[in-house]
Structure 1
Amino acid sequence: MEHFIVSARKYRPAVFKDVVGQQAITNTLENAIENNHLAQALLFTGPRGVGKTTCARILAKKINQDGTEREDEDFAFNIFELDAASNNSVDDIRNLIDQVRIPPQVGQYKVYIIDEVHMLSSAAFNAFLKTLEEPPKHAIFILATTEKHKIIPTILSRCQIFDFRRIGVRDIKEHLADVAKAEGIEAEDDALHIIAQKADGALRDALSIFDRVVSFAGKNLTREAVTENLNVLDYTWYFQVTDLLLENNIPQVLVTYNDILSKGFDGHHFIMGLASHFRDLLVCKNQETIDLLEVGEQVKAMYFEQSQKTNQQFLIDGIDIANTCDLKYKNSQNQRLLVELCLMQLASLTFQGEKKNSNSDRFVIPPSYFKSEKIISEKITSAGSIAPKPLKKVEIEVEENKVSEPSETISTENNSSENTISETNKADKPLVSQKFSSESEDNGEPQKVIERPQILAERNAKKVSALSLKSIQKKQEIKQEMVANQPDAENLPVNDFSEEDMQAAWTEYTTSIESDGKFNLLSHLTMGVPKLDGSIIHLEFPNQTIKTEVERAKYELLGFLREKLQNYNIDLDITVNETAEKKYAYTTREKFEKMKEMNPLIEKLRKEFDLDI
């Protein structure tokens, strides 16, 4: 069996002109050698597999050539390679310094190539400083590293730095084509392009992948074989998904995504690839940016064809939505649902051939589809529940430039009536014309319905949760709205009332909030007895928390009391007294102890008759 040599070693460049993708650096080194302007300490830095060590070996060989050597002379005695990953101690550097003092026996220079130099210890770096700054005239040091930031600044300042860049996809593809031709392998342009993309700028990785795919597919390298062997999602999937998105075909898009997942591909990889696909379509739409499309000629034609079907706004919005999904993917608890939601949004962008203006409109089924033309009345039960009930026909006409007074929602059924009065602005009665259905209920009585004013419906629609961050702002807006809609202060009644009238109105309000299920507020308002001082009602609570809860319902409570007592000068004074004694007993024992405080003879009575509590 013939010994196999991997392509990365077999096709390693032997001269500078064969180095791929680093023309600026190779030209600089060649000119420095020709002009005798070469520094004695060089630092080659850059990603893996881009030619750092290769250029160091070519340089070491070239500076010792004088035209009299053999063609295959490698100057092995003049080139010393040190792996700093395994020789990173002070002793290793000291041995190197001792060797530097000896001049070369063959050639003019001794070249020391230290690979992965960032692995040297701090002590080794410090021991190397003096020799690196003032080496013998026959010694040249070439340091190579992938992590320049780990090298101490005193070493960097003594070196001439060359930054190697990642190799472009086109350069890697052309080099792979030369290797395939030399090996007698027929390779499709798209197959080599996929290998070049997978290598991510590293030519050594590209050659390793090439060897692996050749072992799998043999002498005929096809795109299908490469994608199968490398587990790469074929770009044809993205073309198929994009066509379905343009057709607003959500069901088939979800089925296609499920097929992709069943083949073992990750959803995150798919959504990133879809964003890149949209980007490629976008750059393909303009002749000036088409050079940014790094694909084969066959695929470029497919991109150009599909780009003609899409509009620019769809692609920009698609990139934005896909990128947002990419950012949220790792933190999502349901990653599949996140990607599916992203696909549904993308499929809705071109619905009805027009661009929607907001995220809320991005539905394949528009929101107007869910709006019914039937008029629905609301039956308010005593427990606060709402039971929708359709009516045949209800029309209400409200004269403009008038302010509505409290409206009533009345539903009559089986000789029982339940009234709910919702306070709005107080003013003259509006002109309201009502038309009722000629249809009757089971009991033969007509149904009468008076709908709520539109302003109240809009206000209820704008309600937010008390736990929301916007609740404070919303309450301020409602407060300002209530103040603005108050009638003229000169026409407000200020009738006199007694404390008994106030207590009766207070009890009526607590009864109404109990029927509404506001038991927490009910317990606060019944905790103590409100005291009247002129038109000011004083309330005292044991802590600040209760005070805050009551203040939230202050405007509703004041509105009720002012209307009930016909005095709009009424106001609330809420104070906190944390030292107040507990005035209520709850258990039987507590009740007995309270009675004993009021009349100590009760204890004597209990003992006399041997009573139990």
Structure 2
Amino acid sequence: MSESPQPYRVLARKYRPQRFADLIGQDAMVQTLANAIRRERLAHAFLLTGVRGVGKTSTARLIAKALNCIGPDGQGGPTIDPCGVCEPCRAIAEGRHIDVIEIDAASHNGVDDVREISEAVRYAAVSARYKIYIIDEVHMLSKAAFNAVLKTLEEPPAHVKFLLATTEVQKIPVTVLSRCQRFDLKRIPAEALARHFAHVVEAEKVEAEPEALALIARAAEGSARDGLSILDQAIAHSGTSGEGALVTAAQVRDMLGLSDRGAVRRLFGLLLAGDAPGVLAAVRDQYDLGVEPATLFVGLLEAVHGVTRAKAGGGQDPALSMEEREAHAEWAARLGFATLHRLWQLLLKGHAEVQAAALPIEAAEMALLRVVHASTLPDPGELARRLANGETVPAAAAQASGGPAPAETQPALKAAPHPAPEPPARPAPPASFGALVELVNGQRPLLGQQLHDFVGLVRYDPPELALRPNRPLPADFIRDLTTLLRNLFAEPWKVEISDGPAEPSLLDQQKSAENAARDAILATPVVRAAFEAFADAEYEGYTPPETAAEARSA
């Protein structure tokens, strides 16, 4: 009997890395593991983190093979380059090794599941050098399960290794993190993914345009598994060329719902030209072709980002075609950074509105019309410069329709030459410290009270002021006073605390003057005779004759 044909295996499984050399973009982790194996400094628990599809589970299996490989002759030891032909290597690759236990924490996340692991680790490996526990999506374990595994994870038997994989490391308790050696697997660069996909299509005897592979690599967002799944779908979606399939960029865009980059460039040019009818027609054409409005805004945002990078001198995106690079360079030469940043903000706001709108295509048209309107507005800085120079400035560059307005409807703004207004004069510093305190009290009453009651004057020589506190002052007293005086008199003031001889505070001076006046009144013959005649008399106050006469006349 003839053997039945092998069932088809998806590319993501068929091209799963079988050696550390096959891992893409994880050189730092491979080097660390190689040094640890060579120096026999292997940790008892490894934590592999990263986004989906970057090789966490594949790396865990490779570590299991590296630790249990015995070589083609059966005499080898742990190695960073497992042979792949010995029985442990083949059994681990096929997922049937009895001492390599893979556990899905999403479905085995309870205390009982962890208790089974804690009891099983006491027994030695059956046929391998190490018993390996690979726990995928470990962040799905319950809090009680994490607590139950802590002791085992901290002091496992010498023959046990734990390999934990997760996409959400922030959900893992710190007590678990501190017991593991952590490796953060990076997103795979789009260039590396495109090269990998080129090798895959060559092995599959499929032709593919480089631009198509670049689009798939960009859509994968750093995930090899996602990219291979998209490539698998693209091969099935593709047409034929000769004996094999042909994957084209147009087919990939159609499959992924991406807008044609040429159409995006044309739409971007219409936006910059302020052509409202052209913009509306282009948006409807893309919508009729099946391009989602939000995807169209993503393409426009990528265009603005590419132009800004080109203007700033950033590196070129290898996924861009030569036509796109030339267009970006041309726009970068014409547009300023302010215009590009304004476009980015308008498109970003429009993208958010389209995603939240009940009518996405209508929201997209309104958002793009807002961009068209903004493109017809003059730059504020340039307008101010031209007005200051007395130049004639048109009131608007275009009508809302995008076309030029008739000459009679375009009034011009003529800046009449006139001298610039002089800034208002600032008051001069008061001649006396008392007058300065009154001025400060009018602006900042609390600060004025502190200046009146709590300090003595050492030196008053505007713009310098030296004070000696009579009692503790707030920490920001000097700073606030200096700022206020600078704002009042338009010049920097130097306010300092001094230990030199100082006058009494204004409050103390006021009290001394009141006491001196009272003593003088009590010393007059009339008042003294009154107190002698009336022993129970008390002094309540004194009103000068002129003040009393004014009160009577009133």
Partner Cα separation in structure 2 for residue 103 and residue 264 of structure 1: 60
2:27 aligned with 1:23: yes
Partner Cα separation in structure 1 for residue 193 and residue 262 of structure 2: 23
Partner Cα separation in structure 2 for residue 12 and residue 129 of structure 1: 32
Contact 1:111–1:142 (CA under 8 A) maintained in structure 2: yes
2:320 aligned with 1:316: no
Indicate the SS of the match to 1:344: helix
Partner Cα separation in structure 2 for residue 40 and residue 60 of structure 1: 12
Task: Give the TM-score, by structure 1 length.
Answer: 0.56
Q: How large is the Cα RMSD of the aligned pairs?
A: 2.9
Partner AA of 1:168 in structure 2 = P
Partner Cα separation in structure 2 for residue 127 and residue 152 of structure 1: 12
After superposition, what is the alpha-carbon deviation per residue over 1:174-198, rounded to whole angstroms, capped at 9, x for unaligned?
1111101111111111101111111
Q: How does 1:300-379 map to 2 (within 5 A)?
A: 300-304=324-328, 306-307=330-331, 310-313=334-337, 314-330=339-355, 336-347=361-372, 355=379, 364-365=398-399, 370=409
Partner Cα separation in structure 2 for residue 253 and residue 206 of structure 1: 33
2:319 aligned with 1:295: yes
Q: How does 1:223-234 map to 2 (within 5 A)?
A: 223-234=249-260
TM-aligned CA deviation for residue 106 of structure 1: 2.9
Q: Aligned in 2, Cα 1:83/1:372: closer, same or farther, shift over 3 Å?
A: closer
Partner AA of 1:272 in structure 2 = V
Which residue does 2:45 correspond to in 1? 41
2:62 aligned with 1:58: yes
2:211 aligned with 1:190: yes
Partner Cα separation in structure 2 for residue 181 and residue 6 of structure 1: 16
Contact 2:276–2:369 (CA under 8 A) maintained in structure 1: yes
Q: Aligned in 2, Cα 1:371/1:355: closer, same or farther, shift over 3 Å?
A: closer
Partner Cα separation in structure 1 for residue 196 and residue 299 of structure 2: 26
Partner AA of 1:315 in structure 2 = L
Partner Cα separation in structure 2 for residue 305 and residue 168 of structure 1: 24
Partner Cα separation in structure 1 for residue 149 and residue 104 of structure 2: 15
Q: How does 1:366-405 map to 2 (within 5 A)?
A: 370=409
Indicate the SS of the match to 1:49: coil
Which residue does 2:311 correspond to in 1? 285
Contact 1:284–1:303 (CA under 8 A) maintained in structure 2: no
2:197 aligned with 1:172: no
Q: How does 1:82-481 map to 2 (within 5 A)?
A: 82-218=103-239, 219-286=245-312, 288-291=313-316, 293-298=317-322, 300-304=324-328, 306-307=330-331, 310-313=334-337, 314-330=339-355, 336-347=361-372, 355=379, 364-365=398-399, 370=409
Q: How many residue pairs get matched?
A: 370
After superposition, what is the alpha-carbon deviation per residue over 1:464-486, rounded to whole angstroms, capped at 9, x for unaligned?
xxxxxxxxxxxxxxxxxxxxxxx
Q: Aligned in 2, Cα 1:299/1:119: closer, same or farther, shift over 3 Å?
A: farther
TM-aligned CA deviation for residue 371 of structure 1: 6.7
Partner Cα separation in structure 1 for residue 410 and residue 166 of structure 2: 67
Partner AA of 1:166 in structure 2 = R
Which residue does 2:85 correspond to in 1? 72
Partner AA of 1:364 in structure 2 = A
Which residue does 2:80 correspond to in 1? none
Contact 1:345–1:362 (CA under 8 A) maintained in structure 2: no
Contact 1:44–1:143 (CA under 8 A) maintained in structure 2: yes
TM-aligned CA deviation for residue 370 of structure 1: 4.3
**Larger mean Cα displacement after TM superposition, 98-107 or 309-318:** 309-318
After superposition, what is the alpha-carbon deviation per residue over 1:510-543, rounded to whole angstroms, capped at 9, x for unaligned?
xxxxxxxxxxxxxxxxxxxxxxxxxxxxxxxxxx
After superposition, what is the alpha-carbon deviation per residue over 1:439-479, rounded to whole angstroms, capped at 9, x for unaligned?
xxxxxxxxxxxxxxxxxxxxxxxxxxxxxxxxxxxxxxxxx
Partner Cα separation in structure 2 for residue 22 and residue 362 of structure 1: 55
Partner Cα separation in structure 2 for residue 275 and residue 249 of structure 1: 19
Partner Cα separation in structure 1 for residue 70 and residue 274 of structure 2: 71
**Larger mean Cα displacement after TM superposition, 4-13 or 312-321:** 312-321
TM-aligned CA deviation for residue 124 of structure 1: 1.7
Partner AA of 1:252 in structure 2 = G
After superposition, what is the alpha-carbon deviation per residue over 1:239-269, rounded to whole angstroms, capped at 9, x for unaligned?
1112223433221111101112222333233
Indicate the SS of the match to 1:20: coil
Which residue does 2:15 correspond to in 1? 11
Partner AA of 2:331 in structure 1 = S
Contact 2:310–2:329 (CA under 8 A) maintained in structure 1: no
Indicate the SS of the match to 1:102: coil
Larger radius of gyration: 1
Q: Aligned in 2, Cα 1:236/1:137: closer, same or farther, shift over 3 Å?
A: same
Partner AA of 1:32 in structure 2 = A
Contact 1:246–1:347 (CA under 8 A) maintained in structure 2: yes
Partner AA of 1:104 in structure 2 = A
Structure showing greater relative contact order (alpha-carbon pairs closer than 8 Å, 6 or more residues apart)? 2
Partner Cα separation in structure 1 for residue 366 and residue 380 of structure 2: 17
Partner Cα separation in structure 2 for residue 303 and residue 15 of structure 1: 43
Contact 1:268–1:329 (CA under 8 A) maintained in structure 2: yes
Q: Aligned in 2, Cα 1:138/1:299: closer, same or farther, shift over 3 Å?
A: farther
Contact 1:168–1:201 (CA under 8 A) maintained in structure 2: yes
TM-aligned CA deviation for residue 351 of structure 1: 5.1
Q: Aligned in 2, Cα 1:54/1:303: closer, same or farther, shift over 3 Å?
A: farther
Indicate the SS of the match to 2:135: strand
Q: Aligned in 2, Cα 1:32/1:303: closer, same or farther, shift over 3 Å?
A: farther
Q: Aligned in 2, Cα 1:197/1:104: closer, same or farther, shift over 3 Å?
A: same
Partner Cα separation in structure 2 for residue 30 and residue 310 of structure 1: 52
Indicate the SS of the match to 2:183: strand
Partner Cα separation in structure 2 for residue 109 and residue 24 of structure 1: 24
Partner AA of 1:40 in structure 2 = H
TM-aligned CA deviation for residue 209 of structure 1: 0.7
Q: Aligned in 2, Cα 1:182/1:306: closer, same or farther, shift over 3 Å?
A: farther
Partner Cα separation in structure 2 for residue 268 and residue 361 of structure 1: 34
Partner AA of 1:205 in structure 2 = D
Contact 2:396–2:410 (CA under 8 A) maintained in structure 1: no
Partner AA of 2:185 in structure 1 = F
Partner AA of 2:25 in structure 1 = G
**Percent of residue pairs bearing the same amino acid type:** 35
Q: Aligned in 2, Cα 1:205/1:299: closer, same or farther, shift over 3 Å?
A: farther
Q: How does 1:509-588 map to 2 (within 5 A)?
A: none
TM-aligned CA deviation for residue 302 of structure 1: 4.3
Indicate the SS of the match to 1:63: helix
Partner Cα separation in structure 2 for residue 254 and residue 65 of structure 1: 64
TM-aligned CA deviation for residue 340 of structure 1: 2.9
Q: Aligned in 2, Cα 1:228/1:329: closer, same or farther, shift over 3 Å?
A: closer
TM-aligned CA deviation for residue 335 of structure 1: 5.1
Indicate the SS of the match to 2:127: coil
